[in-house]
Amino acid sequence: MKLKVLAILLLIFSVCFIQITAQEKNKKESAAAVLEKIFKDSGIEVAESKFTELISIDKDTYTFNEQEFLTLGNSLRSTGRVKAAISVLKMTTLLFPQSSNAWFNLGQIYVRNVDREKAIESYKKALELDPEHGMAREEMAWIDFRIDDARLETREIERFEPGVNTGLKGPYLGQKPPGKKPVVFAPGIVSIYGGNENTITFSPDGKEIYFGREGGISICELTEQGWTAPTKTSIKGYEMYISPSTGKMYYTGGGIWEMEKTPDGWSKPRKLVDMGMFATLTQEEILYTTVFSKGAKIGRYMKVNGKYENYEILGDQFNLSTFNAHPCVSPDDSFLVFDSNKSGGRGYTNLYISFRENDGTWSKAVYLGDEINTPGTNNCSSLSPDGKFFFYTSHNDIYWVSAEILKDFRTGKAVIDLSLFQESSDLIPGSCTIFSASFGSTVLYGNNEDYRIPDTYYWAEPSGEKTYGGVFFGFDNFSPQGGINEKGLAFDYNALPEASLEPHPELPAKGDIMRKIYQTCATVEEAIALAKKYNWGSSLRWQVLLADATGDAVVFSAGPDGEIAFTRKPKGDGYLVSTNFNRANPKNTYPGGYPCWRYNKAVEMLDNIEDEENLTVDYFKAILDACHIESAVGNTLYSNVFDLKNGIIYLYHWHQFYETKVLKVADVIAQNTSPIRIKDLFSQETVKKAEDEYERYKDKKKTD
């Protein structure tokens, strides 16, 4: 009997073994997993070759799962390998050509690669396959802001594997604390290319850092050996905030949730309120958040009998437009920072601040300036536990800056820094002397870039099927201060005090209007026609002088009637000049800005041009030299002359006009030049003179 049972058991075992062996033998391998390893070990070309091989093999050998390919593509993007991500998502659309989601994801990767045309093409394909694809439609509407975010994002890729010890020690990941100029926080660790970071908060002792990345929450921890590299937490939410006084964490996830820190980690979350997004609290546990009532508004909850039950919507000083969100309140309830899509700022959303007055009311919200607000999206601000640093999200990265800058906005120093005028009454923030002239067949454009940030750059944007390429100049935020496109349309800005405009809500918002212009317009006439199609919002803080290869020129500015004014150059031979008073409304200027000696000097010299032989690059250089500024509070950082007909740039570093660098617009665009320091083009002698002068003026400012 025992032998019979044993025989039966052996038979069953044999059958099971054969079945398991057959299953193992027939088990398909994931094509996405195979390619993931090849991308990591061997690169894009080898992976693409392997993909071609895999799809030619019998499909019974490998599985081709759409979600696995999408996950791989987005994983590569989130670690900064954008070109590899594009490769994977192109494979996905090849495998699943009828999937709207595959095309949508490809569009998002193209945005991250700053390829506007291919992004739009992919989004249109997604909508063609699924007309109800709301996210594709939304991203199409926001494409210019998304491109700005991607264009200005850090290019630092992840430096450490998740969770490993970085060896970095000291507060704030051992990073050098910033002054009053915002910088990217922990590039290559917290802020990485493709990571899409947003929102940051700290434990009260500063030994834990939480931040948002790719829809999840990541953490860095300070150990005896140093800071750990970011790892994802299991917290099922986003937009987290840790109270510096209680140590409790609050996060968004279908309302506002609260957790307490215990010896075993975070407690089980409990829901505080149903209505709310992004919470911050005062020491008295007043909860400020975003509420939704005919748009997004800033609201607050008062704690009554231990509960948050009813919210109130704050006043008009906080709710400036249709979207007002992400309040950051100081622990003592003395000021509140938030973001809004109110028109008139540089970005799609911009940061504003309001202060408590002595009578307990809130002041009118103040725009946090162009140093903090950049093109794209600026939002999700927070304070460090010690109150020394201000953090916020800008173009997919987390930035930090000394919180002292916020105090300046209460006194008005940050809006108009009056110390700038103590030594040099002609120096206006972002001064700039800009002019264009034509005579016969010669058309030239000149600019002095006057400011106090010594690091300057030039870079190129490539042309597309429906967009013009161009060469641009500016600072290390890579927002063009001026430039020229391949058709010879040039532009540059003058800073002005804020001037009111009459909004036109019946028209689409202007967004980054100059980007639209230089990408799609070849002439001044085309630029004016395009500008008239948009709502310029309720205010403007600059004017811009545009000129084209035909000899036409115009200044866009806020007119005295509240409409956009177009101050034109006379037809035919002649010139147009702009400095730091509004050409359409001279009363709109900074103290000492009108009358302007730089404007008068440029006009005087341009009046001396009697024929085409007088209109030369050398003469334009002489005008720039005569109008340049130098002092302890600002200098002419670079100058340029554009030959608009021939597409040639003559460049000068730090008002050292004895050395000229000549660039051809077409060549720079063809090379698709990434940002290059202007000083790197010049001789050591020129750079040394500029640096010596800069240090000399710095020392002079310290002693004054």
Domain 426-698 sits in CATH at 3.60.60.10
Query: What's the whole-model pTM score?
Result: 0.64
| pLDDT of 317 strictly over 80 | yes
Please report the pLDDT score of residue 12 as a whole number: 55
DSSP assignment of 223-244 equals ETTEEBPPEE-----EEEEE-T
Q: Is the pLDDT reported for residue 21 higher than 50?
A: no
Q: CB–CB of 644/620 below 8 Å? A: no
**Tokens representing residue 30 in the block:** 């994931």
The pLDDT value given to residue 227 = 97
Instruction: Please state the rounded mean pLDDT for residues 548-571.
Output: 96
φ, ψ (nearest 5 deg) of residue 387: 75, 10
State yes or no: pLDDT of 549 exceeds 90.
Answer: yes
- pLDDT, greater one: 330 or 15: 330
Q: Nearest to residue 219, comparing CAs of 184, 265, 274? A: 265
In contact, 255 and 236? CB cutoff 8 Å: no
In tens, the pLDDT along 491-504 reads 999 988 889 999 89
User: Is 17 a residue whose pLDDT tops 50?
Assistant: no
Average pLDDT over residues 19-31: 59
Residue 4: pLDDT over 70 = no
Q: Say yes or no to pLDDT of 38 above 60.
A: yes
Q: What is the pLDDT of residue 29?
A: 87
* Residue 7: band (very low, low, confident or very high) from pLDDT cuts 50, 70, 90: low
Say how many C-beta atoms besides its own lie within 10 A of residue 465's C-beta. 7
pLDDT in tens, 257-285: 999 999 999 999 999 999 999 999 998 89
> Percent of the chain at pLDDT above 70?
91
Amino acid 119 reads A
pLDDT tens per residue across span 447-480: 999 987 788 999 999 998 889 999 999 987 788 9
Residue 53 vs residue 528, higher pLDDT: 528
Written as six digits, the tokens of 240 are 């987290």
The dotted CATH code for 185-411 is 2.120.10.30
Cβ count within 10 A of residue 18: 10
Residue 660 has pLDDT above 60, yes or no: yes
Residue from 585, 613, 305 nearest 442 by CA:
613
pLDDT digits (tens, 9 = 90+) for 368-422: 988 899 888 999 999 999 999 999 999 899 999 999 999 888 855 444 332 322 3
Q: How confident is the model at residue 155 (pLDDT cuts 50, 70, 90)?
A: confident
pLDDT tens sequence across 169-225: 999 999 999 998 899 999 999 999 988 899 999 999 999 999 999 869 999 999 999
Rounded distance, CA 543 to CA 491, Å?
10
pLDDT at 25: 46
- Residue-wise pLDDT for 342-368, tens only, equals 877 778 899 999 998 888 889 999 999
* pLDDT attached to residue 512: 82
Angle made by CA atoms 382, 374, 188, in degrees to the nearest 5: 65
- Of residues 500, 509, 459, the one with CA closest to residue 481: 459
Across the chain, what does the average pLDDT equal? 88
* Cα dist from 526 to 165, 193, 472, 603, whole Å: 56, 36, 20, 27
Flag whether pLDDT at 505 surpasses 90. no
Query: pLDDT at position 418, please?
Result: 28
Instruction: Give yes or no for residue 339 having a pLDDT over 60.
Output: yes
Boundaries of every domain in the chain: 7-141, 185-411, 426-698
Record the tokens describing residue 36, joined without a space.
């993931």
How big is the chain, counted in residues?
A: 704
274: helix, strand or coil: coil
Q: Is pLDDT of 9 > 60?
A: no
**CATH class given for the domain over 7-141:** mainly alpha
614-642: per-residue pLDDT in tens?
Answer: 999 999 999 999 999 887 667 899 999 99
**pLDDT tens figures, 41-54:** 888 999 888 888 88
